[in-house]
Chains A and B, each alone.
Chain A
Amino acid sequence: MTELTTPAGTIYDRGYRHYEGPREGRGRRMRAIAVAGVRRVLGLKRNWKTKVIPWGLLVLAFGPVLAFIGVRVLFAEAADEFFTYAQYLRIVAGLLLLFAATAGPELLCPDRRQNVLALIFTRPVTRADYLLAKLAALLAVVGLIAIVPLVVLFLGNTLTAESAATYLGDNLDDLGKILIAGTALTIFYSVVALAAASLTDRRAVATAGLLGVFLGSSALANILFFTAQFDGRRWVAFLSLSGLPGRFVDWLFGAPFDPGTLADQAGFTGPGYLVAMTVVAAVAGAILTWRVLRLRA
Chain B
Amino acid sequence: MMVAEVEGLSKRYGTVQALDRVDVAIEPGCTGLVGSNGAGKSTLIKLLLGLLVPDQGRASVLGHDVAVDPLAVRAKVGYLPEGACLPGDVTAADFVAFMAQLGGLPPRPARERAAEVCYQVGLEEERYRAVGGFSTGMQQRVKLAVALVHDPSFLLLDEPTDGMDPQGREDMLDLIARIRGELGIDVLVSTHLLADVERVCDRVVMVHGGHVLAQGSIAEVAGTTEPGFGIQLGDNGPEVAAALAAAGLEVRPSGEDLLVQGSSDLVRDVAAERGWALRRLVPRAPSLEETFLRLQAAHGGPVTREAAAAPTPEAAWGVRR
Residue of B74, B87, B105 near A122 (CB, 8 A) is B74
A29-B102 CB under 8 A given contacts A45-B94, A119-B79: yes
Contact of A114 with B101 in the complex, beta carbons under 8 Å? no
Q: For residue A19, which residues in chain B have a CB less than 8 angstroms away from its CB?
A: 105, 109, 113, 150-151
Interface presence of B183 (CB below 8 A): yes
| Nearest CB on B from A121, distance (A) | 6
| Nearest CB on B from A264, distance (A) | 47
Contact of B102 with A32 in the complex, beta carbons under 8 Å? yes
Cα-based distance from A123 to B81 in the complex (angstroms) = 13
| Number of residues of chain B lying within 8 A (CB) of chain A | 42
A119-B182 CB under 8 A given contacts A16-B120, A28-B101, A45-B91: no
Contact of B146 with A21 in the complex, beta carbons under 8 Å? no
Q: For residue B86, which residues in chain A have a CB less than 8 angstroms away from its CB?
A: 114, 116, 119
Chain A 1-49 residues near chain B, CB threshold 8 A:
14-19, 21-25, 28-29, 32-33, 36, 45-47
Contact of B102 with A123 in the complex, beta carbons under 8 Å? yes
Among B51, B90, B104, max chain A CB count under 10 A is at B104
| Number of residues of chain A lying within 8 A (CB) of chain B | 36
Q: For residue A122, which residues in chain B have a CB less than 8 angstroms away from its CB?
A: 49, 51, 74, 77, 79, 81
Interface presence of B290 (CB below 8 A): no
| Nearest residue, chain A, Cβ from B76 | A124
Contact of B105 with A123 in the complex, beta carbons under 8 Å? no
Interface presence of A50 (CB below 8 A): yes
Chain B 102-138 residues near chain A, CB threshold 8 A:
102-107, 109, 113, 116-117, 120
Indicate with 1 or 0, residue by residue over B49-86, a CB within 8 angstroms of chain A CB atoms.
10100000000000000000001101101010101111
Cα-based distance from A120 to B178 in the complex (angstroms) = 25
Chain A 229-268 residues near chain B, CB threshold 8 A:
none
Cα-based distance from A278 to B249 in the complex (angstroms) = 80
Cα-based distance from A14 to B119 in the complex (angstroms) = 10
| Nearest CB on A from B310, distance (A) | 39
Q: For residue A25, which residues in chain B have a CB less than 8 angstroms away from its CB?
A: 104
Q: For residue B102, which residues in chain A have a CB less than 8 angstroms away from its CB?
A: 29, 32-33, 120, 123-125
Cα-based distance from A122 to B147 in the complex (angstroms) = 9
Cα-based distance from A36 to B85 in the complex (angstroms) = 17
Interface presence of A282 (CB below 8 A): no
Contact of B101 with A119 in the complex, beta carbons under 8 Å? no
Q: For residue B113, which residues in chain A have a CB less than 8 angstroms away from its CB?
A: 19
Cα-based distance from A60 to B142 in the complex (angstroms) = 39
Contact of B51 with A121 in the complex, beta carbons under 8 Å? yes
| Nearest CB on A from B149, distance (A) | 9
Cα-based distance from A126 to B117 in the complex (angstroms) = 25
Chain B 158-183 residues near chain A, CB threshold 8 A:
178, 182-183
Q: For residue B150, which residues in chain A have a CB less than 8 angstroms away from its CB?
A: 19, 123
Given contacts A19-B151, A123-B150, A124-B103, 6 further A-B pairs with CB under 8 A are A14-B116, A29-B101, A111-B87, A116-B87, A122-B49, A125-B102
Interface residues, chain A, CB within 8 Å of chain B? 14-19, 21-25, 28-29, 32-33, 36, 45-47, 50, 110-111, 114-116, 118-126, 296-297
